[in-house]
A and B are shown apart, each in its own frame.
Chain A
Amino acid sequence: MSVFDGLVGQEMAAHELQVAVSDAQLVLGGQAGPAMTHAWLFVGPPGSGRSLAARAFAQALQCQEGGCGQCKDCLDIANRTHPDVVMTEPVGVHYGVEDVRELVAQASGSPIRGRWRVFVLEDADRLESQQMDWKPANVLLKAIEEPAPHTVWILCAPSLQDVIATIKSRCRVVSLRTPSASEVTEVLITKYGAEPELAAAAARISQGHIGQARRYVRDEDTRNRHSDVMNLPASLTTLDACIEAAAQFVETADERMKDSVKGRDTQEREDVRQVYGVGARGIEARGVAKALNDLEKTQKRRAKRARSDAVDLALLDLLSFYRDVLMVQWGADVSLINKEFAAQLHAAAAGASPEITMRRIEEVLRTRATLSGNAAPRLVLEALFATLRDPAVAH
């Protein structure tokens, strides 16, 4: 049993990391170990398991058995109680300079359990922002350039383009690929006990995003939301209908967001209650109200981000619809993502030329880019739907 077994479709990356782990042993013994280095950049599309891979690497570096998943080191890392492994993510949209300074300060400490000091930064694409006049990325850069002898940085980002060049150039890149539909199907069946047919549909529709695929299998609301998107293009008959659809789209994304953060939010509230000892008798737990209040603020900031992620995921569904329409129009309808919605796809294919479908695809892509710049989603979506309804009325 190895922690790398949990990574789906990442044999190449897992192999590379395992070689690094054995070279890391050599480095600890004072020998050369060229496959090991101080700064890593894990890139892979959402759902490819970047943070899972980073955690597995951290476990493998600390564990006596190279990542057994069972020993105290492996378990403490999974529980976030290992003194030599720090896993962090931005609280708001971006990392704050103070947060990064704090990390850099911690990174000068030697490992207590005698191996490595590992820092995992999720969403390293959110290190730099124009609002920050002193960019957190620069603070981190200095630490990566002159690392303490036993410090390892693992940065995670969706793609190489998302990370600023100065940091990228100092990191060794590990690319995680999108797992294939058959790989995802197999995991859903063997690991999560899904019905083969549903598993196959989930794998196709989630396009390699394992988290999404699991949700699709498990949760009827998720399936309904997806079918809403499949029915959306046909509903765009009038301008009023477009406005209505945009409102509905945002509302659905909101529900999706709430579902996605619910579990974690509840767990965090429970954690705060434990920390303050809520449930005791004979004494009032002091300070818990304020702590819960602070937590709520953090969660709200995170929800804002999750909401825009949810809109984007729904737009990806819409994109997959038009992609399928194009396939039908080209007569290549053997590998449709949304096979279950053949009727809608064929109707849309019959009602437009491939050029118009292409145009619609471009419009959806343009909208995704606009919304990533924090624009108000509803107005942007109204404009998109109006264009999808009649691509002749372009910007």
Chain B
Amino acid sequence: MKFTIDSSALADAVAWAARSLPARPTAPVLAGLLLEAKQTSLTLSGFDLEVSAQISLDTDVEEPGRVLVSGRLLADITRALPHLPVTIATDGPRVNVECGSSRFTLLTLPVEDYPSLPSMPTVSGLIDGPTFTSAISQVAIAAGRDETLPALTGIRLEIEGDTLTLAATDRYRLAVREIPWKPEQSSISATALILGRTLNETAKAMTSATEVELAFSSRDGAVESLVGFSGAGRSTTTRLIDGEFPKYRSLFPDDSATSAQIEKASFIDAVKRVSLVAERNTPIRLAFSSEGLTLEAGTGDEAQASESVDAQVTGEEILIAFNPQYLVDGLNAVVGDYVSMTFVSSSKPAVLTGMLTADAKPDSSYRYLLMPVRMAG
């Protein structure tokens, strides 16, 4: 194998692919980065047995080949190279790296022991990159962290024609985002459950792509074991969670008794100030009336805090309590300067949606459902 390539392009590619290498590999080959040089391209691959990452670069290949080297060492080397063309060539069991006056030699790992990488499923459709990334971060906040409830640690992807829905819940809140996408077949219908943590990482890894290809390994509409994302020469595959996601659509109430529109920034500040007084995770009480919104936290005489915020309230007066952190998460996730909150009663979940301005219509493409906390007494 022998090829020459721009050193900074190589450094970026190595750094990206090396991110998926395992911290504690079960076998040394898994700490390796696979370099495959074919005619006019170089492909780098890493695989930690959960997530695979692959990146391709155009380059002139003098001699095609396939070699496995310590990913962490190659990353250290490429990071330090001068901005010049770098030549990489095998020499028996060694790989030589030459760039300007710099010379390095790495030992190779046994490439024949490397596991076969999961093959990328066929492409199901295209999504706008930035939209996809922001949608994932909007729902990831509601994903659970308890590994003994695996389905709740996941983000659910649902495809129905040209709509892609993302959802996550930890039973205390539920975040749902709908985005348009371009399916390969307009009749497509599929679902997948992906570990929230992993999908968030994947989305970050794809930020440079203007359009992301989404690939499900789908059989009879049921997604099998893998989902793949690709864009800008980079692709990753991720193992799916084999579990049942709660039926969440029916959790959204059909009607509401009260609705309120509040300016977001001052609402968030007030929640933070009021909840500071109370002990961590004690509920914050919100009273909505024609006068506006009053926030309260703490019990008894000591450490009680109260603050008022302007709010446009229609419908019945309501007193309702929430976990302050979950409330702030939701307020931060909805898009716009204003938030719309709708309520059924103080024991039923509230729904948060974003509003770009005070007069704008609530944007229901992202909904954050928040369970109230039972009030003492």
Contact = CB atoms under 8 A, between A and B. Distances in A.
B242 A109 contact: yes
Interface in B94-113: 97, 102-107, 109, 113
A151 B146 CA distance: 19
A80 B26 contact: yes
Contact of B102 (A142, A274, A276, A282): A282
Contacts of B27: 79-81, 271
A283 B77 contact: yes
B66 interface: no
B150 A277 contact: no
Interface string B130-173: 00000000000000000110110100000000000000000000
Contact of A282 (B49, B105, B107, B195): B105
B242 A105 contact: no
A149 interface: yes
A33 to B, nearest CB: 18
Given A110-B224, A142-B148, A148-B242, A274 B103 contact: no
A69 to B, nearest CB: 16
Interface in B232-282: 237, 239-243
Contacts of B80: 283
A150 B114 CA distance: 24
B239 A109 contact: yes
Given A276-B70, A277-B72, A81 B115 contact: yes
Interface string A107-137: 1111111100100000000000000000000
Interface in A273-312: 274-283, 285-287
B115 A76 contact: yes
Nearest to A77: B115
Q: Secondary structure of the B side of the interface?
A: mixed
- Which of B27, B30, B73, B226 is the most central at the interface, judged by chain A CB atoms within 10 Å of its CB? B73
Given A105-B147, A276-B70, A280-B73, A112 B118 contact: yes
A81 B73 contact: no
A101 interface: yes
A104 interface: yes
Interface residues of A, number: 44
Contacts of B107: 274, 277-280
A223 interface: no
Interface string A135-147: 0000100110000
Contacts of B239: 83, 109-110, 112
A280 to B, nearest CB: 5
A108 B150 contact: yes
B243 A101 contact: no
B106 A112 contact: no
A114 B224 contact: yes
Given A109-B50, A117-B242, A148-B243, A274 B28 contact: yes
Contact of A148 (B25, B77, B150, B224): B150
Nearest to B195: A109
B148 A275 contact: no
B93 to A, nearest CB: 10
B106 A277 contact: yes
A233 to B, nearest CB: 46
A275 B25 contact: yes
Contacts of A285: 70, 73
Contact of A277 (B73, B114, B240): B73
Given A105-B153, A143-B148, A110 B240 contact: yes
A109 B104 contact: no
A111 B114 CA distance: 18
A26 to B, nearest CB: 18
A286 B113 contact: no
A286 B237 CA distance: 29
Nearest to B102: A282
- Which of A79, A280, A283 is the most central at the interface, judged by chain B CB atoms within 10 Å of its CB? A280
Given A79-B27, A81-B27, A281 B105 contact: yes
- Which of A81, A107, A114, A279 is the most central at the interface, judged by chain B CB atoms within 10 Å of its CB? A81
B116 A72 contact: yes
A281 B28 contact: no
A81 B29 contact: yes
Nearest to A105: B147
Interface of B: 25-31, 47, 49-50, 69-70, 72-74, 76-77, 80, 97, 102-107, 109, 113-116, 118, 147-148, 150-151, 153, 195, 224-226, 237, 239-243
Given A102-B147, A271-B28, 7 more contacts: A81-B49, A149-B242, A275-B70, A280-B105, A282-B77, A283-B104, A286-B73
Q: Which 7 A-B pairs have the closest CB atoms?
A: A108-B150, A277-B70, A277-B73, A105-B147, A282-B104, A148-B242, A275-B31
